[in-house]
Amino acid sequence: MNILDSVVLGIVEGLTEFLPVSSTGHLTIAEKLLGLQIDDDSVTAYTAVIQMGAIAAVFVYFFRDIVGIIGGWFRGLAKPEYRGSIEHRMGWYAIVGTIPIGIVGFVAKDVVSGPLRSLWWVAAGLLAWSAVMVLAERTARQDRAERQLTLTDAIVIGLVQCVALVPGVSRSGATISTGLIRGLDRVTATRLSFFLSIPALTGAGLYELKDVHGISAGPVVIGTLVSFVVAYAAIAWLLRFVAGNSIAKFVPYRIGLGVLLVVLLGLGVMQPT
């Protein structure tokens, strides 16, 4: 992997990590187009590591919120009167909501980095979850804001987040859609998606860091920095967008890309791995 490859992959990661279009799916496609071996362990690890740049963007963008959540969580542990605050509860929601994907991701690691690293799975994920996103918008009540979040919301959304281990589904697409189905407004569902991403993607990146043995430090650092800059801009844009727009507006793009992949794979123009 050279510097140009790392810049391209950093841009792709930053643009797609928090949009409901699947960053893993887009990175898999980009890696294939760049001539990289997409089912190679070091390439899979590189994909997870540069996500750390996107997570750093979440930390910076939501710095005050995160500090408030951490402080509120610790205050609630020490003093019962703080346990009803949204900051204390959000701390628990982020922890509890991350447990399912932590367990499933660890147990199914070989499947995720092996058989699922196929463009057929990317196409299937893009197409199948598009139907869920449309259903979520059609059934969305959007009558609950952030202060109405419950532990059940965190558990259900955390469980569905595991589906995003299938490339093409999209972690943000899975979590935001589930939040809408449970009656959350789009901004609340999106913010919760961001907060759930922090422990999940940080843990994945740190775990995979040991496997980036075939790639020099330069491309790793550059890819991570580029993903940080692009992801920060994407976060700011997405929060403004979801305030007044349906996430189903991403569906035509998802379906178009999924169908294109099926055609190219079926004709043998592209190979699945």
Residues 17-29 pLDDT 10s: 889 998 888 988 8
272 located within any domain: no
42, exposed or middle or buried, with CB in 10 Å at 0-12, 13-18, 19+?
Answer: middle
Highest mean pLDDT among 77-91, 190-204, 252-266: 252-266
pLDDT (tens digit per residue) in 142-187: 899 999 999 999 999 999 999 988 989 998 999 999 999 999 999 9
273 located within any domain: no
What does the block give as tokens for 232?
């920060």
Q: What is the pLDDT of residue 212?
A: 63
- 8 Å CB contact between 179 and 153: yes
State the Cα–Cα distance between residues 90 and 251, nearest whole angstrom: 30
Q: What is the pLDDT of residue 52?
A: 86
User: Count of domains in the chain?
Assistant: 1
State the Cα–Cα distance between residues 175 and 173, nearest whole angstrom: 6
- Cα distances from 58 to residues 136, 137, 196, 241, 264, in angstroms, run 25, 25, 11, 17, 35
State the Cα–Cα distance between residues 9 and 74, nearest whole angstrom: 37
Residue type at 69?
A: I
State the Cα–Cα distance between residues 199 and 205, nearest whole angstrom: 10
Nearest to 209 by CA among 49, 77, 36: 49
pLDDT (tens digit per residue) in 82-100: 888 999 999 999 999 999 9
217 located within any domain: yes
The pTM of the full predicted model, rounded to 2 decimals, is: 0.87
Nearest to 47 by CA among 19, 8, 21: 8
Cα 72 to chain centroid, rounded: 25
Nearest to 13 by CA among 38, 40, 49, 66: 49
130, exposed or middle or buried, with CB in 10 Å at 0-12, 13-18, 19+?
Answer: buried
66 located within any domain: yes
139 located within any domain: yes
Residue with tokens 């996107």: 54
Q: What is the pLDDT of residue 125?
A: 94
- Give residue 185's domain range: 3-267
CA dihedral of 196, 198, 200, 204, whole degrees rounded to 10: 170
